[in-house]
Amino acid sequence: MADLMPTRGVAARPGPRHRAAAYRPPNGAGPSLVLLLIGAGAAAVLALWWTDTSSVVGLAGLLTGAGRITGLLAGYACAVLLALMARVPLIDHGIGTDRLARWHAFGGRWTISLVLAHTLLILWGYALTGRTGIVAETTTVVLNYPDMLKATVAFLLFLLTAAVSARVARRRVSYETWHHLHFATYAAVFLAFGHQLADGADFAGHPPAQAAWYALYGTVAALVCWYRFLVPVRSARRHRLRVAEVRPEAPGVVSVHLTGDRLDALRARPGQFFRWRFLAPGLWWTASPYSLSAPADPRFLRITVKAVGRHSTAVAGLAPGTRVWAEGPYGGLTPARARAGKSLLLAGGVGITPLRALFETLPGDTALIYWARRPQDLALRGELDAIAAARGARVHYSVSSPAGYALPLTADALTQQVPDLAERDVYLCGPPGMTDAARTALRAAGVPRHRIHHESFAF
């Protein structure tokens, strides 16, 4: 393998041994079932409008009717979006955090579009019905209709969230800023709820419809409160996590070793991540996602972090004994996704962290290819070599410098290294450019889409 850095038998740090997990084909019906339920709910919302509308007459009627439909769908979409990101374990583990995030982003764009359409159509339709101008009708609706002032504030908060979530804007804000601004959506949904029941023609005077809407939003509110707020507090009190040691692994990369009580009760699986809140000055106010870089132990957990922002840079300075809150485990990048008896792991940079845990625990024939800029950037290399030697697995390293040791991310290059590539499950983790190129190469090499497993923390 002249174009790859050869492996070396460097011994890993002594620690608990873990046997490969038993192979269990996953249930692939989860995402389809969730989408079916969401579609059925949307159909029920449309039926609510249909049964309450006897006829639509003229342009004003068409505009007002369209405004009612988009308003109902926007209200329903808000509840769905919050439910998808409530971090319900059954949904998160069955669908995967990455896929849920993509659904959330896609649904968010549609929700904002529905909110805008509802606002414009309703005001236009009302203006034509009352034979007034748009500005005058808007003033009347905002100032005189029940709960419309709060709804107007909600509308502005939705627009703010949409602006911050735009791709151009995301490049200019930190993850922490983006994360906290998204809490504005909770306020927006809360402020908008009242006007739906007070002003919506499909709810006014219809107790069953009101009861159904209260049940929908009440259920979602209970899920959000329980899984995003109460469960983390309960977990912190129960497990009492604290930093045991911070150990350098590579330039700008450290491993944080954590200890606590009854950590086996977390039921964390290799490949999963937690949202970590370190109770230290400058760090306690945000929870950032970091994957476990080793299989969970009843007494110890470990994450490996690369300094790419203020929060991750500060992690290297954590003092032993620092208390930690951990929300999770989350994510579906686990051995349960495997559908074949053999696997290939493709890691780029610090993306090695979840794949290192999988490399130790995945059943069957397993190979790993790890891309980095320089040999010294290959974090956890000694452990990877020791795991490969212990289980008879293959590990290959590719670096950009020095020249001559880089493996191109192409279908031909991957197939040359792993001839039976098309028959394997592929676990993929790395920076966006690398993962996009890898997916393209894997599909060109004949790997079925359902055997390419990937999760991203990109926002």
Residue 17's pLDDT is what? 39
Segments of the chain scoring below 70 in pLDDT: 1-29, 167-180, 456-459
What span, in angstroms and rounded, lies between the C-alpha atoms of 91 and 278? Answer: 26
What count of other Cβ atoms lies within 10 Å of the Cβ of residue 223?
17
Question: In terms of Cα–Cα distance, which of 422, 424, 434 is closest to 458?
Answer: 434
Residue spans of the domains in the chain: they are 30-235, 239-330, 335-454
Residue 170's pLDDT is what? 64
Q: What digits encode the pLDDT tens for the residues 82-128?
A: 998 888 888 877 777 778 878 888 898 899 999 999 999 999 999 99
Prediction pTM value: 0.75
Residue 23's pLDDT is what? 36
Q: Domain 335-454 is of which CATH architecture? A: 3-Layer(aba) Sandwich (3.40)
Q: What digits encode the pLDDT tens for the residues 44-85?
A: 999 988 988 877 889 999 999 999 999 999 999 999 999 988
Pick the CATH number of 239-330 from 3.30.1540.10, 3.10.580.10, 3.40.1480.10, 2.40.30.10: 2.40.30.10
Residue 259's pLDDT is what? 96
Q: What digits encode the pLDDT tens for the residues 126-166?
A: 999 999 999 999 999 999 999 999 999 999 998 888 887 77
Cα separations (Å) of 256 from 64, 118, 233, 260, 386?
A: 57, 49, 21, 13, 20
